Amino acid sequence: MNILALDSSGAVASVAISCDGRIRGEYSINHKLTHSETLMPMVNELIRRTEYETDKTSVIAVAAGPGSFTGLRIGAAAAKGMAFALGCDIVPVPTLEGLCYQLTEYPGLICPLMDARRAQVYSGVYRFESGKLKTVFAGEALALEEQLGRLKELDSDVMFLGDGVDVHMEAIKEHMGDHCLMAPEHRRYQNAACVAKRAEEMLAEGVAAVKAEDFAPEYLRRSQAERERDERIAAEKA
């Protein structure tokens, strides 16, 4: 199985090619340029460098959310465009699950955190059992304090990763105390190779790929523009 994977759900833009379970190549960048400027040039360069035959692509795997609204839309547009062009389907990989694959060897609880602003995070709780990802708490948008509260009730060490760690590190350490573990910098952020691996396992578990025309990102909450519009309408009616 040949998988072309994308992740533009956060600050990192990442693309990878997986052929029969082996990562043939991967590019990631966490710098100033926007994903609209970097994602497709990275795809094209990776294809060129690996001499990858795009007509043999089985599926496009994409981090489907939650995450940055703009980043998710850019990733979705790129995935849909390539899927249409190559005549293949899309595997939407939950961003938080893909993040966990940075820590497949860690035996304890894993808590990916993505900053959702407005005092919220996108987060879930997972663990690997016999090499398979298991969900403890499904991904959702919630207050950081709420997530930390239920984690503390589990009375277990928790490994945190994701861009939300950088934003909320002090609060996490203060709340979790000795149970707080932080993923190292090189294992903390989104990675398209992990998206490819999760997509491969999802397909093996019987999760069906979707047609390009049926794919849409999973935002988990309304965008800031939508919220501001509703607040404006409510104010006008008051």
- Domain CATH for 224: 3.30.420.40
From 15-19, 173-177, 234-238, the region with the lowest mean pLDDT? 234-238
Give me the helix-helix angle, 163-176 and 144-154, nearest 10°: 50
Are both 17 and 67 inside the same structural domain?
yes
Rg value, the chain, Cα:
18
Domain that holds residue 155: 98-187
Which residues neighbour 185 within 8 Å (Cβ) at sequence distance 6 or greater? none
List pLDDT tens digits, range 2-57: 999 999 999 999 999 999 999 999 999 998 778 999 999 999 999 999 999 999 99
On whether residue 118 sits in a domain, the answer given is: yes
The verdict on pTM exceeding 0.85 is: yes
Please tell me whether the peptide bond between 66 and the residue prior to it is cis, using omega within 30 degrees of 0.
Answer: yes
pLDDT averaged over every residue in the chain: 93
Are both 75 and 57 inside the same structural domain?
yes
Q: pLDDT confidence of 234, banded at 50, 70, 90?
A: very low
Q: Which two tokens stand for residue 164?
A: 């939300």
End-to-end CA distance of the chain: 57
User: What pLDDT is recorded for position 65?
Assistant: 97
User: What pLDDT is recorded for position 228?
Assistant: 44
Q: Which two tokens stand for residue 228?
A: 């501001």
| Mean pLDDT calculated for residue range 150-163 | 96
Our measurement of the distance from residue 3's CA atom to the centroid of its chain's CA atoms, rounded to an integer in Å, reads 16
- CATH number of the domain that residue 147 is part of: 3.30.420.200
Q: pLDDT confidence of 237, banded at 50, 70, 90?
A: low
The C-alpha atoms of residue 165 and residue 159 are separated, in whole angstroms, by 10
The C-alpha atoms of residue 116 and residue 219 are separated, in whole angstroms, by 10
On whether residue 128 sits in a domain, the answer given is: yes
Are both 81 and 7 inside the same structural domain?
yes
The C-alpha atoms of residue 193 and residue 101 are separated, in whole angstroms, by 9
User: What pLDDT is recorded for position 118?
Assistant: 83
